[in-house]
Chain A
């Protein structure tokens, strides 16, 4: 059916590569049902304006600035679009086709149908930012509940109504720390995922701040607290970030005492929300900011976006917080009502002196987060985290005896994820062999940029809610075979 179309611009990608074939002429001539085209409608609008052609409305665009054609293909009707997109999606092999052990910040976790049903309420998803409070009480109340939940999970005082994702939330936390504390150095674990380090370096680059890595103990992966102590004593550190679990999937007990080392230097904890259903709230051990990635609560992985950035801080720093915040107030009748508040922190009021440039956030994902937690309930969340932790232990013991594989690589407690290290061959070859057995065995931790320093062949492995004993044993058999095959090739 694909009729080649000639590209109109020499040297550009051929249109056949990106555009489905044109409509058969029988499909009708309407440009699209999405633009009203009742006969006579456009003529009536033109007549009311006293003009004869829409072209006249573009007389303010200078001729030299005009273009001929864009060079995109012809339009299609809905059935054809669905066929085309489905044809493309069939080239994907989604998670459901594999035994899945992928994790990290984006988690493949079952989303109860009720959550998506609430997200599909078009009063929510087709709304804009609730600037007109009276017309938007539904979304404002849902966001107020979302903020309240993140406050309960973190043990802090104030949460905002979301940021883009966990990595950018960490970036905003870095800038936040600089607003509340002097200094030029921001410390992060060397074990932090490389993507997050890169995002943090970008956030630090504007005000010329430095992101420095805290080394870890090679046996346990725990932060080198002596390094932190020495850095803080040098008086130029304006913030320290630690993650729970850390980038290797492990829990570092040292973090519980970190604040005593930092004194008044702000502590940012980047925490997994599910882990917080069973772990001590970071506010209780001195965290000044808690950020996190909230996608795992009710949002499909969707090839990495949209995600959900979580942010909470202490009350005394409220006016330094980035992003929108919903507050409770009263209406003219003295009844409880909600509104966006403390807007003088924000870009549309404060412009270049705003605490952040963020405008559009991830409100709908914040709704997913609170609906998910409410459907599953606090007991359900703790049970889910417990069951993932049990699966991870089963997996670790199944992998533990395999020669040429260190699993787990680090001797430290963990919940649902841990890091393994491939001793023979590369992590990539190991994962590739697993994939051929329909196992997504985790993801490589190394920075993939060609110039990046050489790193050990490490893989973050996650016990997901879709795997059981059978998949775990299958993983162990495939892993053993993969390491043996790598040994034979060596």
Chain B
């Protein structure tokens, strides 16, 4: 396939209609003179068509799942069903205010309530809150819940540490630190938790062990029950990072594996779109010990009526305005009832089948540092490319020229020059074979061409070092540096 991305010579929006001399906005009745803006906001006055053309052209210089296969490991870039987009835009959903009286929002509350019930069954944990805006937000809230739990038990002074494997997502240690914990990483063996090392590290100081299973090496932590036992023997909590839940739907669940609390990413497993970086929707699921600490309000059902329940004295309180990203919860609900029991199980089975198939094929080109049986994703090492003077980054950029997105690169960090590949259940064998062929063309190309990639996109290789060394972060910066078309 020959691929060419649109390459519009599209100016920045302010250069389309350079703002003229800025007038003072007309006075607003009752606003004190000192509070008034003296100069109108410096932004262009454009026709609607000009704005639409501008952003349409920008959109054509962007990869999405709808244009390209998108094998980003740990991101679960599956098809975002169109029907969910349609439903979330219904007036009965989009046109609802969070502070409407409960009596006027029974449908919205019921959708949240139903999705929570479904997610209790998916996670095997008895209570769920949908308030978190994203996965990391859920991690953070869960750790605050853990902290509150130990405070109530008089152990907050002693349990000051969170343990995690070196394969953990970066959000895990960052969330733990924000929640006031020190963090310690446990070295993995063969890509999995070293249970002996964990047993040695864990102590009365440990509040929580954070784990994603399957982990970021794509491997199922087969010793999960022993891990849970070790954590619980020490009186600590076991936290489930649900970023990789897709691979185990209907096979096992966090509750059965012994986790006390979990977050899920509806924007991964439940197919809500990533929006170019967000919005996401986080789920908090808690076992009996931590459930009383979930954020308020909880959705309660009394008879046939749904209401917001604020009467949870142990709750950590609010973690954001309103009740979570309802628009995405609705999409996730539609996804769940479309698939149902068998469909959700099939999601896991097909994503694991896809990943093992592509892994076995790409393993011919690059070494796989861990065992071949993987779940949702697999890891390759680009280290041998260095003999040809090529790096994983070059391969990633060259793949873009094939019209496919690059894998996640340089993560997990315990693998040299790593690539992490995930092709979820929505990719057909045809697409997988095209991806494998694209990978083969890319890796077989000359070092010169790999270094020069990409050539088919709207820009050539972007100088990220310069971006960090001389930060130009807005139009204002460009003006100040004399680099703006419109001063």
B339 and chain A: residue at smallest CB distance = A75
Cα separation A48 to B436 with both chains bound (whole Å): 13
- Nearest Cβ in chain A — how far from B486, in angstroms? 12
Asked if B177 and A440 sit within 8 Å, CB to CB, the answer is no
A22→B79 CA distance, assembly (Å): 24
5 closest Cβ pairs, A-B complex: A304-B322, A304-B98, A364-B275, A89-B92, A75-B340
Asked whether A173 is an interface residue with its Cβ less than 8 Å from the other chain, the reply is: no
**Contacting residue for B107 out of A92, A142, A253, A443, CB 8 A:** A92
Q: List 9 A-B contacts (CB under 8 A).
A: A12-B121, A35-B343, A38-B428, A77-B338, A132-B406, A145-B475, A164-B134, A305-B324, A318-B473
Cross-interface CB contact of B373 among A57, A112, A168, A414, cutoff 8 Å: A57
Whether B356 and A57, one on each chain, are in contact in the complex, defined by CB atoms closer than 8 angstroms, is yes
Q: Does B459 contact A (CB under 8 A)?
A: yes
User: Which of A349-357, A398-406, A480-488 contacts the other chain?
Assistant: A349-357
The docked-state distance in angstroms from the alpha carbon of A152 to that of B43 is: 8
Asked if B459 and A337 make an inter-chain contact with CB atoms under 8 angstroms apart, the answer reads yes
* Complex CA distance for A349 and B410, rounded to whole angstroms: 10
Cα A379 to Cα B105 with chains together (Å): 36
For residue A156, give the distance in angstroms from its CB to the closest CB of chain B. 9
Q: Which residue of A lies closest to B331 (CB)?
A: A85
Asked if residues A206 and B338 are in contact (CB atoms below 8 Å), the reply is no
The answer to whether B250 touches A67 (Cβ under 8 A) is yes
Tell me if B276 and A127 are in contact (CB < 8 A).
yes
Residues of B within 8 A of A (CB-CB), count? 213
How many Å from the CB of A211 to the closest CB on chain B? 11
Closest CB in chain B relative to A129 CB, distance in Å: 4
Whether B279 lies near A102 (C-beta < 8 A) is no
A92 in complex: contacting residue of B104, B327, B336, CB < 8 Å: B104
Q: Are A303 and B93 in contact (CB under 8 A)?
A: yes
Given A303-B108, A389-B30, A60–B275 Cβ distance below 8 Å?
no
B80 to chain A, nearest CB (A): 5
Query: Is A69 in the interface zone, CB < 8 Å from B?
Result: yes
For the complex, is B154 an interface residue (Cβ under 8 Å from A)? Answer: no
Q: How large is the interface on A (under 10, 10 to 19, 20 to 34, 35 or more residues)?
A: 35 or more
Are A57 and B140 in contact (CB-based, < 8 A)?
no
On whether the beta carbons of A351 and B174 are closer than 8 Å, the reply is yes
Q: Known contacts A134-B454, A305-B327, A363-B278; is A126 also within 8 Å of B225 by CB?
A: no
Asked, given contacts A75-B339, A106-B99, A374-B51, whether A332 binds B224 with beta carbons under 8 Å apart, the answer is: no
Would you call B275 and A124 a contact (CB within 8 A)?
yes
Q: How far is the CA of A371 from the CA of B53 in the complex (A)?
A: 11
Contact assessment for B343 and A32 in the assembled complex, using a CB-CB cutoff below 8 Å: yes
A234 within 8 Å of B (CB atoms): no
Q: Which of B277, B320, B475 has the most CB of A within 10 A?
A: B277
Q: Which of B28, B52, B224 contacts A118 (CB 8 A)?
A: B52
The stretch among B57-65, B193-201, B283-291 that forms the contact with chain A is B57-65
B97 and A440 within 8 A (CB): yes
Assess whether A62 is interfacial by the CB under 8 Å rule. yes
- The segment from B231-239, B251-259, B381-389, B438-446 that touches chain A is B251-259
Instruction: Report yes or no: A89 in contact with B107, Cβ–Cβ below 8 A.
Output: yes
A429 to chain B, nearest CB (A): 12
Q: Are A432 and B429 in contact (CB under 8 A)?
A: no
Contact A60 B373 (CB under 8 A): yes
In B71-108, the 8 Å CB interface with A consists of 72, 75, 77-81, 83, 85-101, 103-108
- In the bound complex, residues from chain A placing their C-beta under 8 Å from that of B225 are 62, 64-65
Query: What is the total of A-B residue contacts with beta carbons within 8 Å?
Result: 700
Of B79, B170, B427, the residue contacting A348 (CB under 8 A) is B170
**A378 and B40 form a contact (CB under 8 A):** yes
In chain B, positions 322-369 with a C-beta closer than 8 Å to chain A are: 322-328, 330, 333-334, 336-347, 349-350, 352-354, 356-357, 360-361
**Contact in complex: B66, A122 (CB < 8 Å):** yes
In the complex, whether A326 has a CB less than 8 A from a CB of chain B is yes
Q: Is the CB of A94 within 8 A of B92?
A: yes
Which residue of B36, B58, B256, B454 contacts A280 across the interface (Cβ within 8 Å)?
B36
CA of A77 to CA of B83, assembled, Å:
11
Instruction: Let me know if A180 is at the binding interface, CB within 8 A.
Output: no
Whether a CB of chain B sits under 8 angstroms from the CB of A327 is yes
Contacts of A157 in B (CB 8 A): 474, 476-477
Residues of B within 8 A of A343 (CB): 468
- The answer to whether A106 touches B59 (Cβ under 8 A) is no
Residue B29 interfacial (CB < 8 Å): yes
B4 within 8 A of A: no
Q: Is B203 an interface residue (CB 8 A)?
A: no
Q: Are A360 and B134 in contact (CB under 8 A)?
A: yes
Which of the candidate stretches A194-202, A216-224, A261-269, A468-476 sits at the interface with the other chain?
Answer: A194-202
Instruction: Tell me which of A276, A328, A449 has the highest count of chain B C-beta atoms within 10 A of its own C-beta.
Output: A328
B26 x A386 contact (CB < 8 A): yes
Please determine whether A382 and B40 come into contact, CB atoms closer than 8 angstroms.
yes
For residue A98, which residue of chain B has the nearest CB?
A: B104
Chain A residues, CB < 8 A from B338? 32, 34, 75-78, 81
Give Cα A106–Cα B135 distance, bound, in whole angstroms. Answer: 23
Docked Cα-Cα span, A75 to B81, in Å, equals: 15
| A385: Cβ under 8 A from any B Cβ | yes
Which residues of B sit under 8 angstroms from A227, Cβ to Cβ? none
